[in-house]
Structure 1
């Protein structure tokens, strides 16, 4: 063990002798063979016999809480590995001493160390603020730049009602998923579907989640093109080739290679929390820019042209699909909940979900209302195409900020895609060599790039993802997971939870059936 590791943790003298005993006791019914297997797993995970003894001792101090099933024991081993790496503990008295800043002491100090230490304190690993930024980052992205056109499609007041209702449903379903994770101990969609629904459902649920996140990632590639297009059109010395379709695809590919690919490589969601924080901050700046530009131009003209407060028919339902997509954040509930520190908490998850989703809703309303009033009937599918960033420097700053935000959201959506592929290949994220991980995630990201370069419209991608996948992920799956955890009935959960769950299921069915039909009809037939 290195000197740094030795100074972080101090083991009792008999901890090494009690490794198997700790695993046996922690296993709550695990046999000697299973205890030996878990002990071997510890050595594989840590790569160090001394660290194995430390984890075993820490599990013993916990009294084996939560290790009554083999999959929970394996999950606890992974959690204890994170405990070693992060220097945090659910029970500070378990070892003596355990430094909360062990990682900071181990890294080499340089001129940037004070800044990094301050940021670590401001946005700690697994803290409330980190969770708010993570959930906000995966939510804000392609949806916000399509919000004015969605208000145009649904009508101003109808769009606000949609956002209010979907915001409440999103917070509620995230909390339900937190309860399901706490009860079962399952660590991703695939494991939970297999454990609760049975064989075969793990691949169906995993595929829906993969399709949703893959489609969202593809939409973000299209969003990058939407960012570049106004700059290329308004810049006075832009080469003619870059104004062509192939030139725009070349620039989009360069942005993907230089900015988007590097942020999908880290294994942990909290590893990109700083990028998420910066991205969300730039979205706030973008919202301010839209409001200011609208107040200086379109708002003065009031309602005009075909601007409406309500719409009906396919238009109204098509707008619903975009709004459902804009709140899809349930896909990262598992890593957000499990990576919380000092320990996973439903209360912290609820607060983080309520804060992040409500802030996103406010952002959406401001951009939707003011962006629609600004451009009225000339509103583009991506509102970025309506601005002139070259001759308006403050808009150019917003464009750069949105590019950073899209990169952060892209990385968040690639995590569930990666998890499903790993599940199908029977790879473990913790033990999979980093070189193999890099190759796999690069291939996945490359496929999203290719699809994003040739998709006809960003709103088509967002609409299909929001209706077809959003109905399952945002409405149906979280409710069914909680129902199938056991002991769910009108008597045990109460009338409000009972009605809310069935409302979510009915809403999900409407989004899937009618939303998908409306999206396809509006994109290919209603021209």
Structure 2
């Protein structure tokens, strides 16, 4: 019996191996069967207590009968008990090792579950409608370099990525109890999810924004032929990197773009993605302020022809005064909201405004007299000198990578294949809209095309003024959304996990709006803003960080070499476009000082 116990103890000790020697596939099986194994271990003591062995139940009887000779029936029963004791215990498959130490259970994640495997199991069993089907990522081999474990681990496919209200509210629980977090998360999972059509509308609205107004200027910078090629080619690249955001998030186990980059590159990666997102959002705030100054004064002067001669109200005819008055009077109060959901209706206004602007440019471009049209040269029709600056302008329009996981989480059945269809359709429709805007504006005004193509039309054009009014009001309500992103990035970076502080909220909100407003007043050329923001933060989020994470997370294949090529392309565009845009501003080339 002592020998049997020693063998059993040896077998038990051999079943527990260090984390560094475990097989990655066995590690995944370990967590998949975690709940069942724990249940079996908890049942074992109950069985022992309910069915004690004869020796344990009657020790006195065993001592009294020690000298007596056992009968044949007793010998047969003793042999049966001995064979039961010698029978090998029930063990898991050879490649799976169960550690009975309860400390292997991980702490709860922000979504309220013990780990992402448990989250996957619960969300899959909740409702078949929400259960993810098999997608194209199931057969992908990948590697994750986890310094904490010193080995490669195979992680699950995420299904718990939530929609915007969930992702933004995750940080609000702070040190709340696990029961509160789990109860809240279960309630959020019962929210109605969106289908493919709604997801397409959300993504298309994210792409077709203020950047569409600068597409004719991009064609002027690059040339007509190269502009068409760039628009199509960059659409394909952006489409692929948008999908990479979700793929990387699945491979890393993170539920945000920031979390994925931090998982791959640590603190330096978090700094890089935070800086890129902040610069892109802040650059958008500056661009929106410039658009307000380019649109609202024209509309007000068209309504009141003698506005500029009025004593006090005459300041509404000046773009600088309009920027200050409207941003502080409309955008700033909206920026003070803590809940971004209160600004959700702005997306509907944005989409309607873009449609009105596109139709206006198409119709008024055809009706523009020949005296107001621009001229064309061989470079403007083929390949022009500002091709890298054009890449920045196009990239500014198409970057929606910071919203990709939110759109993915809103799908009823979130899989890579379904999200890819949404992405392909959204980027395709957005490319057609940008192509129509670029061709209509550039073929009308040629080498005279401005960064804001609406400024090429006369100030007294009624249809254009309606488009200007829609565009300006849209920017006033969209600027707070970008301020919200900037504020959240700053709070999460400098004060992670801390409760809400009204003083910090007011300080960050005020400083962001005022600084963006001042830069908008000082900046006259919208194209320069598009170039700088597109060359820096847009390139980082679209062409550099997603492929870098993919290279880090996957094993070498032909796709990783494509990702390497995209990273090199993004770095070259970032360096060259930034130097060209800054040099153009310093030298005053291209009419950048024009204020209207």
What does residue 366 of structure 1 align with? 436
Aligned counterparts of 1:207 and 1:485: Cα–Cα separation in 2: 22
Aligned residues of 2:373 and 2:445 also touching (Cα < 8 A): no
State the SS of the aligned residue for 1:424: helix
What does residue 574 of structure 2 align with? 512
- Normalised to the residue count of structure 2, the TM-score between the two structures is 0.64
Matched, 1:211 2:279: yes
What does residue 196 of structure 2 align with? 128
State the SS of the aligned residue for 2:323: helix
Aligned residues of 2:374 and 2:444 also touching (Cα < 8 A): no
**Cα displacement (A) at 1:439:** 6.4
Aligned counterparts of 1:484 and 1:402: Cα–Cα separation in 2: 41
Q: Aligned in 2, Cα 1:269/1:187: closer, same or farther, shift over 3 Å?
A: farther
Cα RMSD between the aligned structures?
Answer: 4.2
**Cα displacement (A) at 1:225:** 0.9
Match of 2:564 among 476, 488, 502: 502
Aligned residues of 2:204 and 2:427 also touching (Cα < 8 A): yes
State the SS of the aligned residue for 1:290: helix
Q: Aligned in 2, Cα 1:126/1:409: closer, same or farther, shift over 3 Å?
A: farther
Aligned counterparts of 2:587 and 2:446: Cα–Cα separation in 1: 23
Aligned residues of 1:284 and 1:363 also touching (Cα < 8 A): no
**C-alpha distance after superposition, 1:233-265 (max 9, x if no partner):** 554121346666994333223332454346556
Deviates most, 249-258 or 208-217:
249-258
Unaligned ranges ≥5, structure 1? 1-20, 44-54, 89-99, 101-124
Q: Aligned in 2, Cα 1:42/1:441: closer, same or farther, shift over 3 Å?
A: farther
Aligned residues of 1:219 and 1:452 also touching (Cα < 8 A): yes
**C-alpha distance after superposition, 1:206-242 (max 9, x if no partner):** 1122112211221111111111243355541213466
What does residue 120 of structure 1 align with? none
Aligned residues of 2:261 and 2:270 also touching (Cα < 8 A): yes
Deviates most, 461-470 or 398-407:
398-407
Matched, 1:296 2:367: yes
What does residue 331 of structure 1 align with? 402
Aligned counterparts of 1:275 and 1:305: Cα–Cα separation in 2: 38
Pairs within 5 Å for 1:274-285: 274-285=345-356
Matched, 1:399 2:468: yes
Aligned counterparts of 1:512 and 1:472: Cα–Cα separation in 2: 8
Aligned counterparts of 2:465 and 2:231: Cα–Cα separation in 1: 28
State the SS of the aligned residue for 2:383: coil
Matched, 1:236 2:339: no
Pairs within 5 Å for 1:378-527: 378-388=448-458, 391-407=460-476, 409-428=478-497, 432=500, 440-441=508-509, 443-486=511-554, 488-490=555-557, 495=558, 497-525=559-587, 527=589
Unaligned ranges ≥5, structure 2? 1-34, 40-97, 114-118, 133-153, 171-180, 590-596
Match of 2:387 among 294, 312, 316: 316
Aligned counterparts of 1:417 and 1:261: Cα–Cα separation in 2: 14
- Normalised to the residue count of structure 1, the TM-score between the two structures is 0.71
Aligned residues of 2:216 and 2:438 also touching (Cα < 8 A): yes
Deviates most, 173-182 or 502-511:
502-511
Q: Aligned in 2, Cα 1:438/1:61: closer, same or farther, shift over 3 Å?
A: farther
Aligned residues of 1:283 and 1:405 also touching (Cα < 8 A): no
Aligned counterparts of 1:363 and 1:75: Cα–Cα separation in 2: 30
Matched, 1:197 2:259: no
Aligned residues of 1:269 and 1:412 also touching (Cα < 8 A): yes
| Aligned residue pairs, count | 445
**Cα displacement (A) at 1:150:** 2.2
**Cα displacement (A) at 1:464:** 0.9
**Cα displacement (A) at 1:127:** 4.0
**C-alpha distance after superposition, 1:451-480 (max 9, x if no partner):** 322234222221111112222111010111
Aligned counterparts of 2:296 and 2:278: Cα–Cα separation in 1: 27
Pairs within 5 Å for 1:21-170: 38=108, 78=170, 81=184, 83-85=186-188, 87-88=190-191, 100=192, 126-170=194-238
Matched, 1:350 2:414: no
Matched, 1:286 2:357: yes
**Cα displacement (A) at 1:441:** 4.1
**Cα displacement (A) at 1:176:** 0.5
Aligned counterparts of 2:514 and 2:413: Cα–Cα separation in 1: 36
Which entry has the higher C-alpha Rg, 1 or 2?
2
Aligned counterparts of 1:221 and 1:191: Cα–Cα separation in 2: 31
Q: Aligned in 2, Cα 1:344/1:269: closer, same or farther, shift over 3 Å?
A: farther
Aligned residues of 1:229 and 1:385 also touching (Cα < 8 A): no
Aligned counterparts of 1:127 and 1:40: Cα–Cα separation in 2: 25
